[in-house]
A and B are shown apart, each in its own frame.
Chain A
Amino acid sequence: MIKRKNNALVPYLLSYPLLIIYLTFLTLFASQANVYAQEGDSGISTDPAIIAQGKTMFEENCRACHAVDRKVVGPALKEVYNRKDLAWITAFVQNSQKVIESGDQYAVDLYNEYNKTVMTPFPFLKDEDVAAIVAYIKDQTENAAVAEVAEGGEGAEVAAADEGSIPSNYLTAILVGLLIVLILILAVLGLIISVLTKYLREKKDLDEIDREVVEQKFGLEKVLKSPGFLGIVVFIFTAIVVKTIIDGLYTVGVQQGYAPTQPIAFSHEIHAGQYEIDCNYCHTGVTKSKNANIPSANICMNCHSAIKTESEEIKKIYAALDYDVATNQYGPNQKPIEWVRVHNLPDLAYFNHSQHVNVGGIECQTCHGPIEEMAVVRQYSNLTMGWCIDCHRKTDVNTVGNEYYDKLVELHDSKDALKVKDIGGLECSKCHY
């Protein structure tokens, strides 16, 4: 279809024979397809009602693993009715393992091609149900070309809409341009002043006051040496130095901003942000233990046994697990992945994740910051004692539905809610022992 559009651009005389050849091919292919369809045909319906029924059943049962136009988990179903007859398809859908075990060469080849992935048996789909699904697939196959053209049109519209906004590059250029214009204006004004002064100096008919104004010299040296100016400079300098020293001292022993390079470029931005995988899915210890846990590679493999298998970073996981993608087998030479720990709380302080996350109901982001936006994880909070204590002073205890706190709440006869500091959140020995 697209080819035809392009042909409209080339001269008429040239395009006409091409068009004819093109159409001939099209007709040939179409007629061939029809011959096949009739050969393997055991009555694939073209009735819109049956196609609609097939669509519903396809979406309910098949869509998870199959698409018409592309390979998903299983093969693309486009023209499946040309590859095998309806009876075979029905048998395979109802119980694929039975067909494979019967020694059917096509089924065995298919099974091996897809890494021995077992297709879910659908014994409840009756013969006419499978026929309806195939009718829907046939309808989709034949209308695919039409759909493609429609999609192409949509794509063009989106591209056009994108051009509406100004890219940030242009904004910077505009700002720089404005700055240059301002500097030019300043230079021109300076020139005008010097020209005017020169002209006035040469004039003889000025009185005393005017002459004084013209001859006035700006005593820059005088100003620089004046005690007031020196005082201000010394004050500002001292203030900056003191501030730098204090800031510098406060960073001793504080690892805020530490963002080590990891052996595998794992991105929380993709996993927790884009795909919304819960933190707890991988950090399994966070509700149960002192440590949140760095996930072991078997958790990576829950997804990456099947997706992004060609990525260089994922291959590092395979190497660590001695895993062979082609055979889905794990070898004996497994070794740990040496992740670099980001948060190193000093040994002198005790911290427990489950106490904060499970009992306290604190969100991960409260301390770890916007992890779901970090491609490389950095230490977000400073993890100083002042930071801990500050939170313990401000935070209400999560007492709802926790009978452990019932008596404490009863005894706590203050107007304010029960804070962490009220239950020993400021005691030294809570964290240092």
Chain B
Amino acid sequence: MFLYHKLKSYSFLLGLVILMACGADGDNQGTEYAPNMYHAVSYEPLKQITDKDAGNWVSSLDDGQGEYYSSNPLNPYGMNMREPVANTVRRSKNGYLPYRIPKDSLSLAATSLKNPLDSTAAVINDGKVLYGKFCGHCHGENGKADGKVAEVFGGVPVYSSPAVKNLSEGHIFHVITHGVRRMGAHGSQLSIEERWKIVRYVQVLQKQ
């Protein structure tokens, strides 16, 4: 009887300790409540659980897979995301078509491309915001190559220097898209329209 009482009091303390361990910390995700409402049945982007037995204990389906298993066996590495199918063209509001001039044809781009956006205050302002997010840490707020990253990266030109200030809009667009020399390609981060907006703002910086 005494032992039973003792066990009872200990189980109470044990319960407390278990409750305290519910919180997430470090690599521990913590305890989930109603886990089969937490884990998506559909394939979620940026999420992948490759262990087929994960969540077997809450599984209500007869497919032999754990509740948490989320991985597409048809994709490489079982990934849930795929790149767009080759040669497909994305719909866009203003009907922009993919940019096709290859990286090594910089001079062709420099002479043939025309900016579809006019140099209005709204476009320049959008360009300035995008420039601040995607270019400023190297090229500097005002195109003076004084961004924090430029200090360690090196090789960043000043927009208003003689070698750069007369470069055409097509040249700037091509360089943003494919990169040049040390600069990387930024075409994957910015849409065509966004790139043309940045071009308008860079032209303002070239003239200062």
Residues of A within 8 A of B (CB): 60-61, 64-65, 72-73, 117-118, 120, 122, 124, 241, 244-245, 247-249, 251-261, 274-278, 280-281, 284, 291, 293-294, 296, 298-299, 301-303, 305-307, 335-336, 338, 341, 344, 346-348, 379
Chain A residues within 8 Å of B162, by CB: 60-61, 122, 124
Residues of B within 8 A of A (CB): 16, 19-20, 22-34, 37-41, 44-48, 77, 79, 132-134, 136-137, 145, 147-149, 152-158, 161-163, 179, 181-186, 188-189
With beta carbons under 8 angstroms apart, the residue of A257, A298, A302, A338 that contacts B25 is: A257
* Complex: chain B residue closest to A248, CB-CB: B19
Do B23 and A284 touch across chains, with their CB atoms under 8 A apart? no
* Complex: chain B residue closest to A57, CB-CB: B162
CA distance A72 to B40 in the complex (A): 50
Chain B residues within 8 Å of A306, by CB: 153-155, 182
Chain A residues within 8 Å of B34, by CB: 253
* Complex: chain B residue closest to A278, CB-CB: B133
Count A/B pairs, Cβ under 8 Å: 155
Do A64 and B145 touch across chains, with their CB atoms under 8 A apart? yes
The smallest beta-carbon distance between B80 and chain A, in angstroms, is 11
* Complex: chain A residue closest to B153, CB-CB: A307
Do A73 and B155 touch across chains, with their CB atoms under 8 A apart? yes
Other than the known A255-B24, A256-B24, A348-B37, what 15 A-B pairs have Cβ atoms closer than 8 Å? A60-B158, A117-B182, A120-B157, A122-B163, A244-B16, A248-B16, A252-B30, A261-B27, A278-B134, A280-B133, A294-B46, A306-B153, A306-B182, A347-B37, A347-B44
Chain B residues within 8 Å of A346, by CB: 37-38
Chain A residues within 8 Å of B153, by CB: 303, 306-307
CA distance A347 to B67 in the complex (A): 13
Chain A residues within 8 Å of B133, by CB: 278, 280-281
Chain B residues within 8 Å of A298, by CB: 184-185, 188
Chain A residues within 8 Å of B149, by CB: 275, 277, 303
Chain B residues within 8 Å of A379, by CB: 24
Do B19 and A260 touch across chains, with their CB atoms under 8 A apart? no
Do B22 and A252 touch across chains, with their CB atoms under 8 A apart? yes
The smallest beta-carbon distance between A277 and chain B, in angstroms, is 5
With beta carbons under 8 angstroms apart, the residue of A120, A247, A252 that contacts B32 is: A252
* Complex: chain B residue closest to A74, CB-CB: B155
The smallest beta-carbon distance between B169 and chain A, in angstroms, is 19
The smallest beta-carbon distance between B103 and chain A, in angstroms, is 13
CA distance A336 to B186 in the complex (A): 20
With beta carbons under 8 angstroms apart, the residue of A253, A257, A261, A302 that contacts B184 is: A302
Do A258 and B156 touch across chains, with their CB atoms under 8 A apart? no
CA distance A200 to B133 in the complex (A): 83
* Complex: chain A residue closest to B152, CB-CB: A307
With beta carbons under 8 angstroms apart, the residue of B24, B46, B155 that contacts A258 is: B24
Do A281 and B189 touch across chains, with their CB atoms under 8 A apart? yes
CA distance A423 to B87 in the complex (A): 41
Chain A residues within 8 Å of B41, by CB: 347
Do A347 and B182 touch across chains, with their CB atoms under 8 A apart? no
* Complex: chain B residue closest to A73, CB-CB: B155
Do A255 and B30 touch across chains, with their CB atoms under 8 A apart? yes
The smallest beta-carbon distance between B47 and chain A, in angstroms, is 6
* Complex: chain B residue closest to A340, CB-CB: B27
* Complex: chain A residue closest to B150, CB-CB: A64
With beta carbons under 8 angstroms apart, the residue of A258, A281, A291 that contacts B29 is: A258
Do B158 and A64 touch across chains, with their CB atoms under 8 A apart? yes
The smallest beta-carbon distance between A213 and chain B, in angstroms, is 44
Task: Give 3 nearest A-B pairs by CB, closest first.
Answer: A248-B19, A302-B184, A251-B23
